[in-house]
């Protein structure tokens, strides 16, 4: 007995930020863990951003548009696809690091916005970029226990905490994705989970929110190496748990952290043609990257009924999460 994903949806803010925005703000700078500028100024360009990050544009939420607003819109789309009403939901799990307030939770605010009056639990999960697979796992457990319908929302407004003088600023964008899980007694749905957490040897400081409130990534090269290793390892573990070979896998959706990371993950796994990539359009949207990716993959027919997929992610902490599923 497991849970099956019966609906997905995503929402992107209207405002588009192209790379010219950052070219106009040259030079950019590297920052250390104490938020002091280090090294030489960096003159960025569209070519530099595309080569190093793979991002052509990203979305930005409006001044009065917050995590719960984006999340509610994605949730409505997932409900529509599932053929459900808000009152059919039993629980809401939302993963984000940019909620407007710590309490009430953004999950509660989404519940209120969509009018889900029968929800029995609604709460936030803080796992940064690794939040979507983690939330899917916990929603799966809840569905198994209750046989109810659970909404998972992965959303962030990273642009609100991005310092546009930071050389990493062009990487980040805003967006939301959602999935609805329901009970099934068939051999489909969320079938495997893999994770890890390693804050040791200074790793908890590799990606952080500084005292200024701004997002900092002072150890970019180390983050890149760790992201590749962790997402490859998660994928292999999930394959082993399920007895899948590469020919069995229809799609892998890795966290859209950086185009170089995505290419390396595909190459290391021997799945180059099966890696979903949308980073060029949206940048890194934290946990929303995998959720939006899954929604777009369904929309584009890359995932359909019976498809076997792996979703893997990596985030600040450092924390690593992944799920294997049959759609």
22, 308 in Cβ contact below 8 A? no
**Peptide bond preceding 27 in cis form (omega within 30 of 0):** yes
Strand arrangement, sheet containing 189-197: 189-197, 319-326, 308-315, 251-254
Residue in this structure with the two tokens 């010219």, named with its chain if needed: 20
Within the chain, where are the H helices?
A: 20-23, 46-52, 67-82, 106-114, 131-146, 220-242, 259-269, 279-282, 288-299
Question: One of 255, 258, 278, 290 is an active-site residue; which one?
Answer: 255
Question: One of 168, 278, 284, 290 is an active-site residue; which one?
Answer: 284
Phi first, then psi, for residue 57 (nearest 5°) are -155, 165
**255 tagged catalytic:** yes
Question: One of 10, 19, 69, 129 is an active-site residue; which one?
Answer: 129
Residue in this structure with the two tokens 């509660």, named with its chain if needed: 108
For the record, the structure tokens of 104 come out as 């009430």
d(CA 228, CA 233): 8
d(CA 116, CA 184): 22
DSSP helix/strand/coil, 228 = helix
**284 tagged catalytic:** yes
Exposed/middle/buried for residue 189 (C-beta within 10 Å: 0-12, 13-18, 19+) = buried
Q: How many residues does the chain have?
A: 327
Indicate which residues carry an active-site annotation.
129, 255, 284
């Amino acid at each position: 007995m497991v849970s099956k994903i019966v609906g997905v949806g995503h929402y992107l803010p209207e405002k588009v930020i192209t790379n010219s925005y950052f070219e106009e703000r040259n030079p950019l700078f590297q920052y250390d863990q104490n938020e002091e500028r280090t090294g030489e100024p960096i003159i960025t360009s569209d070519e530099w951003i595309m080569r190093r990050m793979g991002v052509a544009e990203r979305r930005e939420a409006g001044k009065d548009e917050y995590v719960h607003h984006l999340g509610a819109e994605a949730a409505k789309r997932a409900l529509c696809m599932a053929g459900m009403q808000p009152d059919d939901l039993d629980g809401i799990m939302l993963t984000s690091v940019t909620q407007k307030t710590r309490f009430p939770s953004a999950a509660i605010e989404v519940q209120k916005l969509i009018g889900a009056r029968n929800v029995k639990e609604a709460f936030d999960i803080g796992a940064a970029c690794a939040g979507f697979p983690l939330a899917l796992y916990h929603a799966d457990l809840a569905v198994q226990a209750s046989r109810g319908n659970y909404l998972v929302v992965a959303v962030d407004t990273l642009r609100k905490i991005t310092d546009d003088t930071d050389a990493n600023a062009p990487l980040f964008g805003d967006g939301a994705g959602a999935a609805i899980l329901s009970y099934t007694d068939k051999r489909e749905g969320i079938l495997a989970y893999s994770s890890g957490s390693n804050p040791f040897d200074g790793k908890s400081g590799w990606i952080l929110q500084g005292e200024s409130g701004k997002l900092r990534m002072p150890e970019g090269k180390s983050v890149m190496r760790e992201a590749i290793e962790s997402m490859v390892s998660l994928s292999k573990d999930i394959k082993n748990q399920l007895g899948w070979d590469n020919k069995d896998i229809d799609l892998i959706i890795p966290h859209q952290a950086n185009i170089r990371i995505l290419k390396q993950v595909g190459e290391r796994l021997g799945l180059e043609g099966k890696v979903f990539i949308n980073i060029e359009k949206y940048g890194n949207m934290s946990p929303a990257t995998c959720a939006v990716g899954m929604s777009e993959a369904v929309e584009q027919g890359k995932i359909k009924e019976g498809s076997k997929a792996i979703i893997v992610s990596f985030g600040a902490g450092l924390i690593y999460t992944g799920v294997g599923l049959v759609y």
